[in-house]
Chains A and B, each alone.
Chain A
Amino acid sequence: MLEVIDIHKNFGRKKVLNGVSFTADKGDITCLIGINGVGKTTILNSIMNLTPIKKGEILIDGQPQSPSMYNKIAFIPDASIILPGMTVQEAIDFMKDYYSVWNDKRAKDLIRFFRLKATDKIQDLSKGNQAKINLLVGLSLDVDYILMDEPFSGIDIFTREQIAEVFSSRLVEDRGVLITTHEIADIEHLIDKVVLLDDGAIIKEFYAEEMRENEGMSVVDVMREAFNA
């Protein structure tokens, strides 16, 4: 289980996270939603120890953050993080060199699935294809948890469909997925748990299925109600 316990974070005088606590379980797709600037990306960065928190604790299967956690948890950020001069194959080789949990067969399958070429240079790829590379690199790790930051941001509808397909595939089965997205409609039917954020704090936490069954509300309905939109 991935546990975020009472985390606080400031950027200068601005409070970005104000006592955020939630858990994300293995086998569940947990979605962090909220309008821009509520701290969704900061939460993911904090879990990956890519930005320091002021107060609080983050545990991965009960263990505090350490370099070995990167063989247990993968992060797919909303930015291209592979060197632009590398080819797809070189990016794969780089990952293979460092991660004991790298799954080469899956990487090859994903190259085919995303219709990429191993010889393609990252810098020559479109934004959508660079996003696919990020997914390829993250999903080819045999990790227990996958964090994704806005995987649908700024990409065309076909790529979006391909990425959405990933969520219903065996690629994320049995893994804990924590995702932030604005494009909730694309994956609403796949989400297990929702954490609704506003002003750096959780305003609602619920299971999507229960919400649909008990209250007859979709995730988008809950969002609309919460933000009076």
Chain B
Amino acid sequence: MKKQLQYFIRLVNFEFERMYKFLLGIMIILILSNFAGYIIGPLNYVSKANETMKLESLSTTQYIETYGSFSLETLTRSLWILGPIALGIIGFLFYSIFIWYREWLGKNTFIYRLLMLPTSRMHIYFAKLLIIFVGIFSLLSLQIISLWIGSFIISSLTPPEFFSAMTVSEVVRTGIIFPMILPNTLEVFLGIYSLGLVAISVLFTIILLERSYRIKGFPLGIFYALASIGFIISPNLVSLIAKNNYILFNSELIIIVVIFALIVGLVSLLISRYLLKNKITV
């Protein structure tokens, strides 16, 4: 058991070493983009404010009443912040596909070596799954740290009369995308990231179906994905079909959806385990 755990940790470490260049690349883009935003954002706002006040003969107070003040939250709605986040999401989605296919289609066929390791093949699966989440959370942590540093830069570059001070935690609660990627209650946080985990496990199942049955496996995988989505959202559909949205309370509906998603996650794990053990082809 201890030995198996050591093998798993080594595999995770090995996957991390293979991912770090990709992660570092996205992190550098995030930092550069964010910091460019922290500098350009306030300067643009002040210059635009001065121009508008001049043109419309507005006082500072009138300008703020009409156009609003500048805060860290204003900046989080810009491409400087949203761009790297979108890039991270798309990047990790592609990485989830790449993490498997590179073993077969890379310069050398490393899948031979991986499948011949004297350990459960599910360790390879879990190492790949875990490393994607390590990457996502690393990026998320960096974004929070960046916002914290950004709040100081923005406050120093924005004239006090135009600046509306907000803490990072307020920004995270009120922005457009942050309440989704960093929910402020543990239940919602676990719910959202469990759904993410299930989504990646379904994606892994599609890939493993394709790698096991090749061309025939792809439509099978797509069918599985659609069936999984249908199953997860079915409690909502029941309410709609029955034309009675009050059959279930919203809180009950969410719990059922989460349970259904966990069932899909479990089924995906079992299918993947079966495929890796019995059907996978080098």
Contacts and interface: CB of A to CB of B under 8 A. Distances in A.
A49 B115 contact: yes
B116 A48 contact: yes
A82 B212 CA distance: 22
- Chain B interface size, under 10 / 10 to 19 / 20 to 34 / 35 or more: 20 to 34
Given A94-B14, A98-B117, A50 B112 contact: yes
Q: Which residue, of B10, B112, B120, has the highest number of chain A Cβ atoms within 10 A?
A: B112
A64 to B, nearest CB: 12
B281 A98 contact: no
B118 A81 contact: no
Interface residues of A, number: 26
Contacts of B280: 50, 52
A53 to B, nearest CB: 10
B10 A97 contact: yes
Contact of B109 (A80, A99, A100): A80
B14 A50 contact: no
Contacts of B10: 97-98
Given A50-B282, A52-B281, A84 B117 contact: no
Contacts of A48: 115-116
Interface in B200-234: 212
Contacts of A123: 107
A67 B282 contact: no
Nearest to A72: B118
B2 interface: no
Interface in B259-282: 278-282
Contacts of A145: none
Contacts of A69: 118
Interface string A95-114: 00111100000000000000
Contact of B278 (A52, A67, A68, A80): A52
B113 interface: yes
Given A50-B282, A68-B118, A79 B112 contact: yes
Given A48-B116, A52-B279, 10 more contacts: A45-B281, A48-B115, A50-B112, A51-B281, A77-B112, A80-B109, A81-B109, A81-B112, A82-B108, A98-B7
In the A-B complex, the 6 residue pairs with the closest CB atoms: A81-B112, A70-B118, A80-B108, A50-B282, A84-B107, A71-B118
